[in-house]
Chains A and B, each alone.
Chain A
């Protein structure tokens, strides 16, 4: 029985370390290869020994697909390909291919240079890993091999984020990666056609949230930032360099312009300037409005936002600082946070989801006393959470399920409790099974793919011609012979099958004698038979031939004299095996005798 098997190595009932194994039609595909921000030990990478204990992964995987450049989706890639060992193709979109190595290098620097970790992947490994990448266009059908094909759809989560359809024969799986169903200030909304996959694997970060309108959130955000700087406070906005950062920059830039504000806005690290360049060069991946106007005004050239220097953090007076990384787990954002946390005039705005174990997650869950490098830190600054991260909310997830019309749904990239709720909702609303495996747990789904066969046009047309035109679309019976030869399946008419195989048809014919009491001449008997059958069989073609015989369709009836009894005539009814039903019906009918001729 064909089946699809799915095993999350990461992101099973969890957010972070996305890595999902899918087996479909005999092919093995790994979806994403992420790291976990909440861990610093072995658990930060997926456990690839699940795939194989020894030997290279290349032998066990047909391809790897990376949905977007966030580290929880690609952070383990160099470790996977260079340290564990994988030489097969890695597919991602062009922007992801451009930006991914930069974030990996950034991640490596923090881990090795700042935290002094040994046995981490090197810069060269990142380069070697990226050489294995094959870039894909949106909607391009990429033939991984003769049977396996993949296709990318726009996901709208960050620049270059994509959903992927994986297809073998008539079986298919769609993996959403992270996606966003509402267009924002710089990206468009995710879109997929009604591709009816056997399985949809969707993220479920905001499985239980239904967010208010984007406009309200933006107004709220601007109000909070404005109030804080008005009273002389400093605003820290931890972000990842690419993605939300650009959206919020566009938002603040236009607000500053409109309100004519002079308070400085800074953006930390050199990465951002580079990041904005990527947005300019990959502008075809942004939303309609930005694409349309870019010739005259490029939205990614900011006037009010300047580069941040670490010394600025101690400057007096109000300011707004965007700093990386977004979950306050390391780097510059964490440094600035420690400097400003003690002052109640200041504010930190967390614009996205924070993984368990990060400082961001701690302060969002209300913790105000933190232990950091052996010292107590009391958080007096205001902590605000604004959901700007570009994940679909419950409504959006349902919308996507409705768009793609999958036969089953599988949830990843979310918290178990919330998934449970969404699972019920999906099962109720769409009447499809929904699964939510934990990491290392395998879901096996039987499929029943139909079998494609070549049908000879002659046979198909003959069958179609049997039905008059207005009803041509109605189902009808088809009879033929399936020839199976070297894995090649052809359905042809039986005649053609015999001919192709050089076999002669064997004709089986029956002739039955029906005795009738009739004193008239044979010709007259035949005529009586003819008029009788003509009146009884209105739907059939009954003919009286010049030689005196009668035909009903292809069945031949002849009248002969009885050799012994002149008062009896013998009807010889003759038909082939293929007309058996009609033939035996006719003999039974004639046996009952003919109606008396009107005198």
Chain B
């Protein structure tokens, strides 16, 4: 059993597991932090961005002029933004049988894999994962495609040149594999390969392996996966949460008794408490608005935004914000708000019971009804008519490199009255802000990451007790910025096996058993004998049928009856080579009793001699000699088959057959 690690990003994993005869890809995360190296894509022509100075090499060589721009001491690539794909060379991806998706954030690389590697298998995901994943992809494609950029820079990627560039460009990894965004057509084709599954559904793969999604508590439809055969069990834990937000709680008990537990997708901000962050978010928002400023919240169109809206729903009246307009701007804003209301079965108990009333599970329905929350596909169109300040705007993309957020950064960046509040933990906010410097607007960092922290992980591992833990190398040491915090790493026994991008791990377990079905007719014919108290044995001679990786034992065919030539030939073709195998023997032969038995069966003139290890029984008349020792019997006789068989049967009486 092997694990091929195709992504080095701990929260955007992409691993391939070879288990029995199957090849299973676990998640398909797309590392978008690469886009931080690019200039933002403005929706409206931005004189500031287009007038940024070009950057040239120290030796004054200016051939990179067109590709690199400088802003407040940072260098950016002026090009269509590109994403860092999972490794595609480590393993032949056309051999992948299935892809298991754990949540909508971890499927963003799917079109690259399913459309460009010869992949012909099936993708499994829950319905909310697919629907919301589709929205995220649609938004991404829309953001990139609606601002066509002529330039696609590639000179800077040359290894010899890259090494001369300033950080972080110099240290960017795998730049040669960076790719532009996929198209909607590729998204649709990729999504058409998905088969919908429900929690605790058992899915058979080729009869060899069974996979089951379990609720992971992190997002709508998010799942952990159990991959098991009858005797081995691998748990894949990815993006799980124990906090009670909107999704169904995490199913922990089903993870018990794993041979291997692959652990990815822990919180990216282990030191922040999500509840505290939500409080800070609300108070900073209120403060800014009361002072007449605007609030910008860069966000994804689904997920934490539902929780933020719910908090605000409870908060705005008491904070005197009921007249402040809240805008949610995304090409998929409407769909996201609508979809959130129809997945009752995937929600926590509280929200589920609201649907039974029947009421919409999320209160943002009421915010929309009362006109407190308005949503628009983009800043163009209706929005420009309705736009009132001061206001609160939720919009993407959290990287601040594309989407409507770029416009608001340019619009509000110069005033210290305004505030941008970062809630999504996927991007470093300082790096996200770099191309907008110098900024007058306030920046508040309230990352809300509900995924497991290290305390929760160690509790979880104690409870589910896997034999081995496998995780990204980042989790086996404290974060580089807090190297003294030994508590910010995974602590378990035996120590976790760590992986990094492009590594192949041999997982430490040995398969010893396989399931086989004994047909009832065969079972009836077995003769068990009790060897020791409570332990019985039966020798089995049977015909093994193997089909679709399932093994069945059927009774052996009766000895072929002598029939006419033609018919017999057909029979022998179907019947395997069924020479009855002789069993092994065990036991020992008590000499005195043996001699008595011989006498009873008509042998006379028997002489017994003692030897060092046992006895020799001589049948002088028959010129036969039987050596009897503790673990062996040797019959030496003339070539008289009748005699030999008689003696054999007498010996066998004293022995057990296996």
Contacts and interface: CB of A to CB of B under 8 A. Distances in A.
B518 interface: yes
A486 B535 CA distance: 7
B552 A450 contact: yes
A453 B577 contact: no
Nearest to B345: A94
Interface string A477-515: 111111111100011001101100101111111111111
B544 A497 contact: no
Interface in A175-195: none
Interface size range of chain B in the complex: 35 or more
Given A450-B552, A464-B546, A485-B535, A495 B584 contact: yes
A509 B537 CA distance: 24
Contact of A508 (B511, B531, B655): B655
B572 to A, nearest CB: 13
B338 A295 contact: yes
Contacts of B512: 456-458
B519 interface: yes
Given A452-B517, A486-B534, A463 B343 contact: no
Interface in B357-399: 358-361
Interface in B15-44: none
Q: Which of B127, B513, B641, B655 has the most CB of A within 10 A?
A: B513
B355 interface: yes
B532 interface: yes
B571 interface: no
B655 A506 contact: yes
Given A98-B356, A507-B585, A580-B582, A491 B576 contact: no
A481 B538 contact: yes
Nearest to A291: B342
Contacts of A141: 200-202, 212
Interface stretch (B86-94, B99-107, B275-283, B631-639): B631-639
Contact of A140 (B200, B518, B551): B200
Interface in B255-271: none
A308 interface: no
A131 B511 CA distance: 44
B71 interface: no
Contacts of A454: 230-231, 513-516
Contacts of B359: 277
Contacts of A587: 639, 641
A475 B538 CA distance: 22
B594 interface: no
Interface string B231-251: 100000000000000000000
A473 B576 CA distance: 11
Interface in A427-455: 448-455
Contacts of A474: 576
A302 interface: no
A51 interface: no
A128 B583 CA distance: 63
Contacts of B152: none
Task: Name the residue among A458, A479, A513 with the largest chain B CB count within 10 angstroms.
Answer: A479
Given A453-B516, A456-B512, A457-B512, A480 B198 contact: no
A454 B518 CA distance: 10
Interface string B523-551: 10010100110111111111111110001
B324 interface: no
Given A481-B538, A504-B631, A507-B585, A294 B543 contact: no
B191 to A, nearest CB: 13
Given A98-B356, A479-B540, A509 B585 contact: no
A591 interface: yes
A473 B544 CA distance: 10
A486 B335 CA distance: 57
B73 interface: no
Interface string B334-345: 110011011111
B335 A512 contact: no
Given A457-B514, A497-B658, A508 B644 contact: no
A503 B532 CA distance: 11
A215 interface: no
B588 interface: yes
Interface in B318-349: 334-335, 338-339, 341-345
Interface string B583-602: 11111110000000000000
A284 B342 contact: yes
Nearest to B638: A513
Given A282-B344, A450-B552, A495-B584, A485 B534 contact: yes
B520 interface: yes
A470 to B, nearest CB: 14
A476 B554 CA distance: 10
Contacts of A280: 342
B338 A484 contact: no
A498 B513 CA distance: 18
Given A482-B526, A587-B639, A475 B634 contact: no
Interface in B552-592: 552-554, 556, 576-579, 581-589
Given A140-B200, A463-B544, A485-B534, A477 B636 contact: no
A140 B637 CA distance: 69
Contacts of A138: 198
Given A491-B516, A512-B644, A139 B197 contact: yes
Contact of B344 (A94, A142, A477, A511): A94
Contact of B586 (A506, A509, A584): A506
B520 A457 contact: no
Nearest to B338: A295
B648 interface: yes
A281 interface: yes
Interface string A399-419: 000000000000000000000
Tell which of A454, A495, A587 has the most Cβ of chain B within 10 Å: A454
Given A284-B342, A284-B343, A484-B535, A512 B638 contact: yes
A512 B637 contact: yes
Contacts of A482: 526, 528, 537-540
Contact of B544 (A281, A295, A476, A498): A476
A527 B545 CA distance: 44
A275 to B, nearest CB: 9
A480 B551 contact: no
Contacts of B352: 94, 135
Contacts of B648: 508, 510, 577, 580
B541 A477 contact: yes
Contacts of B537: 481-484, 497, 501
Chain A CB within 10 Å — which of B341, B511, B540 has the most? B540
A512 B643 CA distance: 11
B505 interface: no
A34 to B, nearest CB: 21
B658 A498 contact: yes
B584 A505 contact: yes
Given A455-B551, A490-B513, A581 B658 contact: no
A481 B201 contact: no
Contact of B532 (A97, A501, A581): A501
A523 interface: no
Contacts of A472: 546
B199 interface: yes
Nearest to A278: B358
Contacts of B577: 476-477
A315 B582 CA distance: 95
Given A484-B528, A580-B582, A584-B641, 9 more contacts: A135-B352, A139-B198, A281-B358, A454-B514, A474-B576, A478-B542, A481-B537, A484-B536, A508-B585
15 contacts: A137-B345, A284-B343, A294-B338, A450-B519, A451-B517, A454-B231, A455-B514, A476-B544, A477-B542, A486-B534, A495-B584, A506-B631, A507-B631, A507-B633, A587-B641
User: Which 7 A-B pairs have CB atoms at the shortest separation, nearest pair first?
Assistant: A494-B658, A448-B520, A507-B632, A450-B517, A455-B516, A137-B198, A478-B544
